[in-house]
Amino acid sequence: MNALAKRAASDRAGLLEQLMAVVRPEFRVEVLVPAPEDPVLGVPDCAVPGCDYPVSDHGICNGHRLRWRDRGRPSLAEFLADPGPPLRGRSRLGRCTVAGCRYGTAGQGLCTKHRDRWERDGRPDPIVWAATAAPVADTAEQAECRLSYCDLWAEFSTRLCKSHQVRWRNSAARDLDEFAADCERLGKAVIDFRGLSPQLKLELQYAVQSRVDAATTRVSPTAVTIAIRYARAADVTSLLDRPQEHWRGVGGERRRGGGKYRRAAAFLAFAHDVVDALREGTGWDVEYPGDIWRLSRLPGWCSLSVMRVRRPDSGSTGSPNRGCGSSASAGFDYVSAAAATSEPSPATCKRSPDSANSSPPHPISPVSPTSTGRYWNDSSPGWPPSRSDRSPDPATSAG
Ligand SMILES: [Zn+2]
Ligand SMILES: [Zn+2]
Ligand SMILES: [Zn+2]
């Protein structure tokens, strides 16, 4: 192993350790099920009474929205008064036609036990026979199927009704608890981390945790699940195996259409950034030596994402006349700055309460507002990072 490879392996081991230390147990799960009222990840339930699918549009879930559209888009009040039968996945399973019997059907509209009796009675007309047949079990003593939305009686040691038992058997012999959990989550807004390699999973869980902790942007669980799919398909062990531009560009044409694919790409770019920041640390002592200052990593500076600087002793960034009306101060030219490009949201920027105590190591004159749309001031945050080899980010750098 050469020195570079050794260093990469050691960096990776260090990052994994950091992730294990910072990702909290509530995020270290295979499937994250946010509460509908969660301010960042929550998606409210559909407005149709009894429907627990997440809202898609117009206050109703996707299934009900399609039904509403097919009816010619009546007023919502009119639709809610008569939304029709429960949607697929929530519809009632077939039950025995004998009055008082809640076992699932096993042919001829009868449960297994009633069908046995019916056969012993010489197979008369099953409808006529069922109308007069007596129940086979004491209603009060029967346990319901273990799935919360199924009211059929359980028939097996698995505590599943006949239909759900058959479905479980046909579901590639998965673990019973996992099957039941999947059934309960069917159609819900969840974030599914399954199938990711350990470090990649922790990185994405850390990104979700970071969004929740910041509480400045709503995050769509569907978009995150799409992002996870892209990360899984990329065949990497860490997001840092690819540059941030790669993640920002995933989804291709679909991303250009906007919506959840664009949000998925934005989430991956964000995830790359927070994982990179975790590995490198943050603060002015980290940013200061570099040619690019990633202001989004500094408390109180998150209205701008990056700023290119040119030192008097370095010609490495831009040309003296390039960019937007630079302003010299303390030996620096501020060549360009770019507004933050994080996931779109009604509230992407939050000035941190400690920003007043966080200032660069040298006084900085304000940059012309016409050049950046924002101001620098002496009361802005402390100074950051360490990489002087950072290349400009074409997607976020102006100038
Ligand atoms: Zn619904
Ligand atoms: Zn029956
Ligand atoms: Zn059932």
> 47 burial class (0-12, 13-18, 19+ CB within 10 angstroms)?
middle
What is the distance in A from the centroid of ligand 2 to the CA of 126?
12
What is the distance in A from the centroid of ligand 1 to the CA of 32?
21
**Smallest-distance ligand from the CA of 134:** 2
Of 163, 138, 169, the residue nearest 154 (C-alpha): 163
Summarised one tens digit per residue, pLDDT across range 82-118 is 999 888 777 778 899 999 999 999 999 999 999 999 9
Say if residues 275 and 206 touch (Cβ distance below 8 Å): yes
Query: Domain residues of the chain, as ranges?
Result: 44-90, 112-185, 192-280, 282-399
pLDDT at position 92: 79
Of 215, 147, 219, 170, the residue nearest 190 (C-alpha): 219
Which DSSP string corresponds to 317-354? Answer: SS-TT-SS----BTTBEEEEEEE---S--TT-----TT
What is the distance in A from the centroid of ligand 1 to the CA of 63?
6
- The region of weakest confidence among 64-68, 144-148, 252-256 is 252-256
What is the distance in A from the centroid of ligand 3 to the CA of 154?
7
**Smallest-distance ligand from the CA of 62:** 1
* Residue 93: partners with Cβ closer than 8 Å, 6 or more residues away: 104, 150, 152, 161, 163, 164
What is the distance in A from the centroid of ligand 2 to the CA of 52?
29
Max mean pLDDT among 25-39, 78-92, 162-176, 272-286 falls in 25-39
- The owner of tokens 């044409």 is 253
pLDDT at position 155: 93
Of 40, 36, 58, 39, the residue nearest 48 (C-alpha): 58
SS3 253: helix
What is the distance in A from the centroid of ligand 1 to the CA of 77?
14
Summarised one tens digit per residue, pLDDT across range 297-351 is 776 655 455 666 655 554 444 333 333 333 334 444 454 555 444 443 332 233 3
Summarised one tens digit per residue, pLDDT across range 336-372 is 555 444 443 332 233 344 444 455 555 444 343 333 3
What is the distance in A from the centroid of ligand 1 to the CA of 156?
31
Q: Is the pTM of this model over 0.85?
A: no
Largest separation between any pair of C-alpha atoms in the chain: 101
Q: Looking at the DSSP assignment, which residues form a beta bridge with residue 153?
A: 144
- Residue range 27-53: average pLDDT? 92
What is the distance in A from the centroid of ligand 1 to the CA of 304?
40
What is the distance in A from the centroid of ligand 1 to the CA of 37?
17
Percent of the chain clearing pLDDT 90 (strictly above):
48
pLDDT at position 240: 95
pLDDT at position 393: 35
